[in-house]
Amino acid sequence: MLEIRFHGRGGQGAVIATVMLAKAFFKVGYQVQSFPVFGVERRGAPVEAYIRADKKDIFIRTNVYTPDHVVVQDRTLLQSIDATRGLKQGGWILINSPEPPPDLRPFAGFKLAFIDANAIALRHQLGTRTQPIVNTSMIGAFARLFKTPHITAVAEAIREEVPVEAEANTDAAEDAYNEVQIVGMIEGRNVS
């Protein structure tokens, strides 16, 4: 079973990102579960949402504690949350950022990728400069890293979930798919 955690801020669409990605996984033959961290929704506050995907039926109904991969929709979160909490060794961490984090030490033992989703969102006029809507870019980049679900399934899921501005959102996902910067494994910690 694959478990993925999304970090975002209230209003950025992290929950919808997991719903779209879950739908994309479902389209390519996976059983899925997606849910937000169960809390009270406030704009700007840190938000977490999860996906489970498996070829078999999913019975478990608990929070996700040891994700296989993590997606961070807002790099300012890195200062306030432990984005790699419980992340499995060798798991991917995908960050919305124009450049790699200055300090790579916290990511030792994990694989790193980044994507300037803010710029892509603005290019396609999704959201505003102070609040770009980056969720569709993030799942487009995700599709590149993991191959599954394929970008066409992701685009289909986007069209279903956001029928308004579907074109701009699928274009953003495809741009992110092409532009994601893959750093790869960060060395520097003894993996025991």
Partner 1 sequence: MKQVLEGSQAVAEAVRLSRVTVISAYPITPQTHIVEYLSDYVADGTLKASFLKVESEHSALSSLVGAASCGVRTFTSSSSQGLALMHEILHWASGARLPIVMAEVNRALAPGWNIWADQLDSLAQRDTGWIQLYCEHSQEVLDTVFLAYRLAEAVSLPVMVIMDAFFLSHTYEPVDVPGQELVDRFLPAFEPKFQVDTDDPAAFSPLVTPNFYMEMRHNTAKAMEESIAQLAEIEENFSNIFGRYYGPVEPFLCDDAEIIMVTSGTMTGTSRQVIQELREKGEKVGLLKIKLFRPFPAEIIRKTLGSVKKVAIIDRNFSFGAGGIFAQEVRAAMCNLSDCPQIFGYIAGLGGRDVTTDLLEDIYWRTKKSEVPSGESIWMGLQEENHAVERS
Which residue in the block uniquely carries the two structure tokens 């006029």?
125
Of the candidates 146, 135, 182, the one whose C-alpha atom is nearest the C-alpha of residue 2 is: 146
Pick 57 or 103: Cβ nearer partner 1: 57
Question: Minimal distance in Å, beta carbon 169 to partner 1?
Answer: 18
Pick 93 or 138: Cβ nearer partner 1: 138
Question: Minimal distance in Å, beta carbon 7 to partner 1?
Answer: 18
Pick 41 or 167: Cβ nearer partner 1: 41
For partner 1, the binding residues (CB under 8 A) are 18-19, 22-23, 26, 31-36, 38, 40, 58-63, 65
Pick 23 or 144: Cβ nearer partner 1: 23
Pick 25 or 107: Cβ nearer partner 1: 25
- Where residue 27 falls (left for φ over 0; alpha for ψ -120 to 50; beta otherwise) is alpha
Concatenated DSSP letters of 5-72: EEEEETTS-HHHHHHHHHHHHHHTT-EEEEEE-SS---TTSEEEEEEEEESS-----S--SS-SEEEE
The count of other CB atoms within 10 Å of the CB of residue 115 is: 29
Spatial neighbors of 130 by CB under 8 A, at least 6 apart, are: none
Question: Minimal distance in Å, beta carbon 5 to partner 1?
Answer: 15
* Contact present, 142 and 24 (Cβ < 8 Å): no
Question: Minimal distance in Å, beta carbon 29 to partner 1?
Answer: 11
Question: Minimal distance in Å, beta carbon 79 to partner 1?
Answer: 27
